A and B are shown apart, each in its own frame.
Chain A
Amino acid sequence: MKQQTNFFTARSWLYVPLVLLAIFYLVPMYIMLVTGFKSFAEVDLQTMWSLPSGLHFENFTAAWEQLQPNIINTLLMVVPAAIISSFLGSINGFVLARWKFPGADIIFPLLLFGMFIPYQSILIPLVEFMRTIYLYGGLPGLVLAHVIYGIPITTLTFRNYYATVPKELLEASRIDGAGILGVYWYILLPISIPAFVVVMIWQFTSAWNDFLFAVVLTNPENWPVTVALNNMAGSQIIAWNVQMAGSFLAAVPTLIVYIFLGRYFLRGLMSGALKG
C-alpha cells in the first residue's frame, strides 16, 4: 500500500478543497456565535464579521427571555415523543423481524411508505381529527402526531437491528419455555440499548427540529421553539443579533447530541435511507 503511486502527486493539495468546504459549513456557526457574544453596543451590521471584544451574554439573555417558554414546550413534547416512539418501534421491530405472520410482506412496505409521504397530503384530516378528539392546540396532540408518523422509521430501525440477533439465541430460550413476551423481555430488550439510543436520538432530533406539525397543530402559547424562532425572525421588532443568539439556543440541544452521540445519529440517518 505504501509505495502506491497516487494520482494526486502532492497529497497535501487535497486539503485545499477540504478546508474551503469546512469554511462553507462553518460560516453560519461563526456568524451565530460571533454575533451572540457581542455586547449590544458592538452590534452593527457593518461589523458583523468582526470578532466580539469579549464574551458578552446580553444577546443570549435577551433571546432566552423571548424563547424560554417555547424551549420548555419543545422539551415537554420531545421527551415523551422520543420515549414512546422507541418502545413502540422496538415492539413492532421485534415482531416483524422474528415472527412472520400472514400478510407481513404486504404490511411492511405499506408501513415504510408512510415514512416518505409529504405531510401536506394528510394535514387537513390530521387537524380535523385532532379537533374532534380535543387534542388540537396543545402539546399532547403534537406528541401523538410525532409518535404515529414516527412508527415507520422506528420500526424499520429496530427490525434491522433484531434481524442481526442470532436465531439460536431465541430458539434456545423457547426450548426453555419462554413465550414470545418472555423472549422479548428477557432476551431482546437487554441487548437493545444501542438500537434504543439510535431511535431515541433520531426521534428527539426530528421532533425538536420539526416545524410543519408544530405550526398547524399548536396554539401560540404551546408553540415549540422552531415556530417561535421563525416568528421572531419574521418580526421587525426583534433585532437580528437577538435572532442569531436565539437560533443558537434553538440549535444547542441537537448539536450537543450530535457532538457526543454522533455515531448513533449517523446510524439513524442511514436507516432512513433503508440501509440497515
Chain B
Amino acid sequence: MHLKKDTAISIALVLPSIIAVGVFVYGFIVWSIRVSVSNWKGLLPNYEFIGLQNYIQLMQDPRFHIDVRNTVIFTVLFVGGCLIIGLGTAILLDQGLRGENFFRSLYLFPMAISFIVAGVVWRWLMNPAAGSRMSGLNLLFDNLGLDFLINRWYTTPYWGIAFIAIPAIWQMSGYTMALYLGGLRAVPDTLREAARVDGATELEIYRFIILPLLRPITLSALIILGHISLKVFDLIIAVAGKQVALDVPAIYMWTTTFDGYFFGRGAAIGILLLISVAVLIIPYLYFTLRAEAEV
C-alpha cells in the first residue's frame, strides 16, 4: 500500500551518499582528467588545453621510468612474498596445532598499525650506516656473526626499492594468511577424508585437492595486494623520505603537484595510476558481483 512512499523514502535516504560519491569520486576523476590535459603550472589554475602533452612528457621522463621500474620490482616482491608467507602460515595453522590462535593474532597485528609507524621503525631497523655507527639489523647480524647479511638496505644502488618490500610484507602477509585460512576452513572435511580413504598422502591432498580449491583466493589476494602495491606511498615516505631512487608514481604525483605546483603533470600521473588500478579492479568487481548474484 505504502510501497510508493517507501520507494520515495528509500531514494531520499541513499541519495545524499550517491551524490557525494558521484561528485567526490566520478566528478573529481573527470575534473582530474581535465587538469591532466591542461597547461596548469603554478599556483593559479590554468585550464588552457594542451592535449596529451603531459602524458607524452611523462612517457619520456627518466624519473617516470624509474617510477615504473620501481613499482614493478616492488610489486613482484611484495605480492610474491605475501602470497608465499600467507599461504605457508595458513597451511601451518590449519594443522590443528596448539597455540594456533596466538600465532594467528600475532601475525595479523601489523595490519592495525599505520604505514607511517611501521616505516619509522623499519627506517631504524634498516639503517644503512656502517662501521662504528652501525645500528639496527646490521648491528644485530654483526653481533650474531651473520656478517654476510649486512647490507645497505634501501640505499642499495638500483635495488633499494626491493628492501621496501620487507616492511610491506611485514604489514600485509598476515592479511593474506587470513584470506587463505578462510579458504582452507571452507574445504569440507569429507573431501579430505575421501582422499585419504583413496590412499592419497597428505602432500597429495594439498597438491591435488586443496591448492586447486584455493585458486580463487589467490586471485583475490593477487588483485587486492596488487592494487595496494600500485598505490604504495606513505611507507616509502616514512622509511626513506622523498628520494628519486625510491620514487614511485604516487610519490611523484604528490611532489610534482604540491611541492612543484605542476598540477597538469600531477593530474596525469593520478589518472595513469587510476587506469592501472582499474585494469585490475573492474574485472574483479564484475566477476565477484556476478558470482554473488548467481548464489
Hey, which bits of chain A sit against chain B, CB under 8 A? Answer: 4-8, 11, 14-15, 17-18, 21-22, 24-28, 31-32, 45-46, 48-49, 88, 91-92, 94-96, 99, 101, 107-114, 116-126, 128-129, 148-149, 151-152, 155, 179-181, 205, 208-212, 215-216, 226, 229-230, 233-234, 240, 243-244, 246-247, 250-251, 254-255, 257-259, 262, 265-266, 269-270, 272-275
Contacts and interface: CB of A to CB of B under 8 A. Distances in A.
A220 to B, nearest CB: 14
Contact of B92 (A17, A101, A155, A205): A17
Interface residues of B, number: 103
Given A6-B202, A211-B114, A251-B117, A125 B31 contact: yes
B10 A122 contact: no
B114 A251 contact: yes
A75 B72 CA distance: 37
A78 B5 CA distance: 36
B233 A212 contact: yes
A117 B277 contact: yes
Interface in B205-233: 220-221, 224, 227, 230-231, 233
B251 to A, nearest CB: 9
B238 A230 contact: yes
Given A45-B133, A120-B270, A180-B9, 17 more contacts: A4-B202, A11-B95, A11-B97, A45-B139, A108-B289, A109-B289, A112-B285, A210-B114, A211-B237, A216-B254, A233-B119, A257-B112, A265-B112, A266-B108, A269-B178, A274-B285, A275-B182
Nearest to B269: A120
A244 B124 CA distance: 9
B32 A122 contact: yes
A209 B7 contact: no
A178 to B, nearest CB: 10
Contacts of B115: 209, 211
Where chain B touches its partner, the secondary structure class is helix
Interface of B: 2, 5-7, 9-11, 13-14, 17-18, 20-21, 24-29, 31-32, 35, 45, 85, 88-89, 92-93, 95, 97, 103, 105-125, 127, 133-136, 139-140, 143, 170, 174-175, 178-179, 182, 196, 201-203, 220-221, 224, 227, 230-231, 233-234, 237-238, 241, 249-250, 253-254, 257-258, 263, 266-267, 269-271, 273-274, 277-278, 281-282, 285-286, 288-289
Contacts of B196: 4
B225 to A, nearest CB: 10
**Chain A interface mostly:** helix
A121 B13 contact: no
Contacts of B221: 273
A49 B143 contact: yes
B226 to A, nearest CB: 11
A96 B175 CA distance: 28
A157 to B, nearest CB: 14
A273 B117 contact: no
A6 B234 CA distance: 44
Given A120-B250, A124-B263, A151 B20 contact: yes
Contacts of A92: 13-14, 17
Given A155-B17, A229-B117, A122 B25 contact: yes
A118 B274 contact: yes
A136 B277 CA distance: 28
A247 B257 contact: no
Contact of A27 (B111, B113, B125, B224): B125
Given A8-B95, A21-B107, A233-B120, A118 B231 contact: yes
Contacts of A99: 6-7, 10
Contacts of A111: 18, 21
Contacts of A265: 111-112
Given A92-B17, A247-B117, A116 B97 contact: no
